[in-house]
A and B are shown apart, each in its own frame.
Chain A
């Protein structure tokens, strides 16, 4: 694997459920150390894109490359072993395990749990205080934070994040933005972010792309001025 290869390269990907294709010819590149936000209305194929990248849905055309290596249509656990952390929209924590046990599962082969816990509970302090609580009894927002913490604990090369700001209080959303930007710099982490909260997404991301009826209709740098209005325009029509 060459170091210059992008963290994720989605190359003219077409996929969907059964006969019905949801995304068509979608190409997105996430360079290492960059955050790319995918924006779009509901049902435009955002989650489908992530599920296909992760191998939960078969790609009928196109390729998915991670760090230059072709992983198209591998099984999800093989893709995850390429140091990819995936935070799906719901049902992603182990309800009957404790906070501690959930976090440890994110650790994979690494053994230094204490250091890792210290790092992630720096982001979300409640984690350290509630280590023995059953994760299913956390509130909806706390479960989301646990999910991000677990993903970051694995020191991934690439993170796929589906609507992570949903249900979080404003101050936590701000912290989350800082955390993601900090980690991307510190670890050279590539992040593909799916968001409904346009302001949060543009604040975090380096680049953005708008998905409409399964196709990318707009993309560019997220830091230019006037981007928010431009994106909202796409969401209204």
Chain B
């Protein structure tokens, strides 16, 4: 399919110069280059969710790489390659630095847009203040450049556009493409799967910067002019508008929009210089209001209605069992060891002096009144930044200030209190993401099998998720999302499971089954499970030990009978009117 369309597009490119007049061919060379950067920006924004206004800066870096090399070093193969590589490497370094600044711990998503906007200003100022070296405000022009016919340029840039579109298309439909969407949807969930969202976003930003700088190089070599304006925020913003108009996340839409708008602009800006800009502005507002998905998105959903042809579901993935690596108790270190853990929010003391040890093969229930600090304790175990004092060690490794993705790599699987899932992925894709750290996703294909350990498979089957593998998670009911998150966490093959009310919203039979699965994991696979549950009957059935928290302190730590017969637990937790035997559904 992609191959057929690609060949047709290449044929069109080949025929272009014979059908079009020289002026059109001349303009289209530039338009094709813009199409390539629109594709790079769409992968960055439409898929990875990073809105960058600074693509123009990378374009300018590439363009000046060419201009500076040819002006100061003269035209030769060596200087041509040096300029190309110099621009690309510089663009990559700048992008990595911007990403490092913008995707730091706890920084809002908007931040990257602000940083990239500032980047354009900085780049333009540097170009202005470069004196004779950069040509300051007049830029560099009239340098010796490749002696290539316009038609050849048309073929080169046209082929580059088709190639970018084809490679981009393959990428976004691959498992890596799904991973980008998962990070856009819910970066927190990804980090608790051990996936570094910021690391991957930096990679995508670097990749898009390199592609954009290569296009900038082509632009400079072709037009024989580079000027500071190329790096300005006006061009950066224009690129964003093209992508939005063409349909963010449709890949082909932004490329077509970039080519068409640039091409028509060239014709109309002569005859209608200001009106044309106004028209583009109005069109932008109209499309954003009427078609939030852009023109490409609107056309795609129309096509889907006309031909209900499964464009988006490349075969249903099968579930396959995989044997979880049974790690022998390689070190005698306990699964979790807490010493003096405390958490304060200002003057509010949520946890004080919590110390306990839990080993592999133990199923420990955390019990306590609402607001006792149970969820906070789980947070302190799974994210090194959370606690205010004390030490946490996982299998003998002190977690220090490690971020969640590093804690997850120590073997922690955490299920959140309210379902924490990927709304725009399907059930199958979500399960695949949970396996991403164990089985790195491929950038060019989709796995047709999803490998799940037996425990995850059992949850999937018991809750009917296996019958809705292609359903988009957004459409699942609350309880089914709970089950999906549990299955995803089990798919990670964790050594230590932290479960915050895993069966809330599930029916009694489903609960019983999940209870049995957890007990099996502890007994036969040597996991350590720390679980928060309010269904006391359920807690009694599955636990090997119960820890009671009250007002942020550990008040009781004992076996099931100790806790059940405790007067304290009866008073603060279960309620005095009813005996324990009657509680729970």
List the one stretch of A26-34, A195-203, A219-227 in contact with chain B: A195-203
Evaluate contact between A167 and B371: CB separation under 8 angstroms: no
For the complex formed, measure the closest distance between the CB of B306 and the CB atoms of chain A, giving whole angstroms. Answer: 15
Q: Is the interface of A mostly helix, strand, loop or mixed?
A: helix
CB under 8 Å from chain B, chain A span 149-207: 163, 166-175, 196-200
- On chain B, the number of residues with a Cβ less than 8 Å from chain A's Cβ atoms is 42
Which of A42, A47, A197 has the most chain B CB atoms inside 10 A of its CB? A42
Q: Is the interface of B mostly helix, strand, loop or mixed?
A: loop
- Which residues of chain A come closer than 8 Å to B463, judged between CB atoms? 42
CB under 8 Å from chain A, chain B span 222-253: none
- Which residues of chain B come closer than 8 Å to A46, judged between CB atoms? 477
For the complex formed, measure the closest distance between the CB of A149 and the CB atoms of chain B, giving whole angstroms. Answer: 13
List the one stretch of A3-11, A59-67, A133-141 in contact with chain B: A133-141
- Which residues of chain A come closer than 8 Å to B577, judged between CB atoms? 174
For the complex formed, measure the closest distance between the CB of B243 and the CB atoms of chain A, giving whole angstroms. Answer: 27
Evaluate contact between A42 and B478: CB separation under 8 angstroms: yes
A145 is an interface residue with CB less than 8 A from chain B: yes
- Which residues of chain A come closer than 8 Å to B477, judged between CB atoms? 42-44, 46-47
Evaluate contact between B371 and A142: CB separation under 8 angstroms: yes
A17–B476 alpha-carbon span in the complex (Å):
11
A166–B418 alpha-carbon span in the complex (Å):
10
A138–B463 alpha-carbon span in the complex (Å):
31
Evaluate contact between A167 and B478: CB separation under 8 angstroms: no
Evaluate contact between A126 and B417: CB separation under 8 angstroms: no
A232 is an interface residue with CB less than 8 A from chain B: yes
B509 is an interface residue with CB less than 8 A from chain A: yes
List the one stretch of B5-13, B55-63, B498-506 in contact with chain A: B498-506
- Which residues of chain B come closer than 8 Å to A200, judged between CB atoms? 585
A96–B348 alpha-carbon span in the complex (Å):
17
Closest chain B residue, CB of each to CB of A237:
B509
User: Which of A17, A47, A90, A235 is B508 in contact with, Cβ under 8 Å?
Assistant: A235
Closest chain A residue, CB of each to CB of B576:
A171
- On chain A, the number of residues with a Cβ less than 8 Å from chain B's Cβ atoms is 38
Evaluate contact between B418 and A90: CB separation under 8 angstroms: yes
User: Which of B372, B480, B584 is A42 in contact with, Cβ under 8 Å?
Assistant: B480
- Which residues of chain A come closer than 8 Å to B572, judged between CB atoms? 171
- Which residues of chain A come closer than 8 Å to B348, judged between CB atoms? 133, 137
- Which residues of chain B come closer than 8 Å to A213, judged between CB atoms? none
A111 is an interface residue with CB less than 8 A from chain B: no
Evaluate contact between A138 and B479: CB separation under 8 angstroms: no
Closest chain B residue, CB of each to CB of A162:
B478
B339 is an interface residue with CB less than 8 A from chain A: no
Evaluate contact between B504 and A142: CB separation under 8 angstroms: no
B345 is an interface residue with CB less than 8 A from chain A: yes
User: Which of A47, A126, A141, A170 is B583 in contact with, Cβ under 8 Å?
Assistant: A170
What mask results when residues 387 to 398 of chain B are scored 1 for a CB within 8 Å of chain A, else 0? 000000000000
B475 is an interface residue with CB less than 8 A from chain A: yes
By Cβ-Cβ distance, the 7 closest A-B pairs, closest first, are: A141-B370, A171-B575, A42-B479, A43-B477, A139-B371, A166-B504, A170-B583
Query: Could you give 27 example pairs across A and B, Cβ below 8 Å?
Result: A41-B507, A42-B480, A42-B507, A43-B464, A47-B477, A89-B505, A90-B418, A138-B371, A139-B370, A140-B501, A141-B369, A141-B370, A169-B369, A169-B573, A170-B536, A170-B578, A171-B369, A171-B575, A172-B370, A173-B534, A174-B577, A196-B479, A196-B504, A196-B506, A198-B508, A198-B585, A232-B508
